[in-house]
Amino acid sequence: MLSVGIIGLPNVGKSTLFNLLTAGEANVSNYPFTTIDSNTGMVPVPDGRLEELNGILEPEECTPCFIQFIDIAGLVEGASQGEGLGNQFLGNIRQVDVLAHVVRCFQADEVAHVLEGVDPVRDLEVVETELLLADLEVLNRAIEKRQRIWQTDPREYATEKKRWLLYREKLDEGMPLSTIDLDREDQRELKGLGVLTGKPVLYVANLSESESQGGKQPCLEQLKESPMLRHPSGTGVVTVSARIEWEVQQLEVEERAEFMKELNMTESGLQRLVRKAFKLLGLLTFYTIANEKLRAWEVERSTRAPQAAGKIHSDMEQGFIRAHVASFADLYQHGSFQQLNRLGLVRTEGKDYQIQDGDVIQFFFNP
């Protein structure tokens, strides 16, 4: 399950965004440190293809992928040395897959700001610095604990030692670890260590109503010029107007669609954020139908069929025999697996098959 940690300064709209994404009820006020406990919410991933398949196949159950959001208290300058409340809760997001860094891009005198004026680049740099300092503390502790093992068998652990010392060197230089060339194994190692700056980052610009409706966006343009947004891990900026979208979400479904059309909103903030997160992590979605149960699953690109089956149950990976695979497009066009079989559009794939986005799969295995 994909997990996203929401970070940022106090009063930038984190809890409003969390409520928008999860339809939750996190406390939202116009003064700093409203969030004194981390909020966690589970949200079904918006999936138009799953909705279409549900209508076509009419299963007894239909289960989407889920995404977890964790909203922590706002970070302030000095958080890594105990200032404010946010650093108490960084531990709650050390195991998430993606960080969503919310940056204030709206003017509102009634909403207090912990720093003078609205300056998205400054705000972003304050939070990034605190994450760097927190990571340096974590890595120093990890290296200290590892020293004895490195000394016991220096040849076996030489590569690990070199890698960890490089991580510390980059942090000492003020460089987030996402700026260095990390492969999947490196990212998993850093996640296991609880390091935050090695994670992929989505920058979320929280706009005012006028800016979100096509007005001048000087604050957003300023944010886009930040060097932070040029990291290899980044995919640009996801724009939302959290307050407006939250108000839209309170409307009845019919009114909501009409109001979104008036506002030229083609998709929700949740849809934009999930789409960007999937792209950032290299994820795709496949579907299974078995025992009248339709379900969506997310896996990394290049995942092979047995490992995809293992997402369902470990026995299915170990006893994998074959997979019957159809594309969503073919199933949408022809309406049933039976028709696809008659047309020769269901493929039999073996253990080397790499799952493709939109595959509809029936797995066969020995228990």
Mean pLDDT of the chain: 81
Q: Are residue 222 and residue 334 in the same domain, yes or no?
A: no
Q: Kindly state whether residues 169 and 308 are assigned to the same domain.
A: no
Query: Could you tell me the two tokens for 107?
Result: 């003017």
Q: 145 and 17 share a domain?
A: yes
Q: Do residue 256 and residue 288 come from a single domain?
A: no
* 208 & 300 share domain: no
Same domain assignment for residues 220 and 98: yes
Residues 276 and 291 in one domain: no
The dihedral through the CA atoms of 175, 181, 183, 184 has a sign that is positive
Q: What is the mean pLDDT of residues 184-213?
A: 82
In whole angstroms, what separates CA 325 from the centre of its chain? Answer: 28
Residue 60 belongs to a domain: no
Please tell me the distance from the alpha carbon of residue 223 to that of residue 210, in angstroms, as a whole number. Answer: 17
State which of 258, 280, 302 marks the end of a domain.
280
Q: What is the mean pLDDT of residues 56-80?
A: 79
Q: Is residue 233 part of a domain?
A: yes
Give me the amino acid identity at 289: I
Whether 350 and 237 share a structural domain: no
Q: Indicate whether 329 and 224 sit together in one domain.
A: no
Whether residue 53 lies inside any domain: the answer is: no
How far, in Å, are 13, 82, 159, 214, 327 from residue 208 at the CA level? 11, 32, 49, 10, 41
CATH number of the domain enclosing 349: 3.10.20.30
If one counts the domains in the chain, the total is 2
Is 182 a member of any domain? Answer: yes
The reported pTM is: 0.81
220 and 254 housed in the same domain: yes
Is residue 64 in some structural domain?
no
pLDDT higher than threshold 70 for residue 34: no
Give the end of a domain, one of 249, 280, 311: 280
In a domain, 226, yes or no: yes
Domain residue limits at 91: 2-35+72-280
Q: Pick the residue with more confidence: 353 or 39?
A: 353
pLDDT, residue 27, reads 41
Query: Is the pLDDT higher at 278 or at 284?
Result: 284
Report whether 286 contacts 360 (CB < 8 A).
yes
At residue 178 the predicted structure's pLDDT band, cuts being 50, 70 and 90, is confident
- The pLDDT value recorded for residue 299 is 94
Q: Are residues 81 and 158 in the same domain?
A: yes
Residue 57 covered by a domain: no
pLDDT value of position 126: 86
Residue 63, both tokens: 């289960």
The domain boundary, picked from 224, 245, 280, lies at: 280
Q: How confident is the model at residue 124 (pLDDT cuts 50, 70, 90)?
A: confident
| CATH code assigned at 176 | 3.40.50.300
Strand spans (E) along the chain: 2-7, 39-44, 61-63, 66-71, 98-105, 201-207, 237-240, 283-290, 293-300, 320-327, 347-349, 359-365
* 117 and 247 part of one domain: yes
* Assigned domain for 211 exists: yes
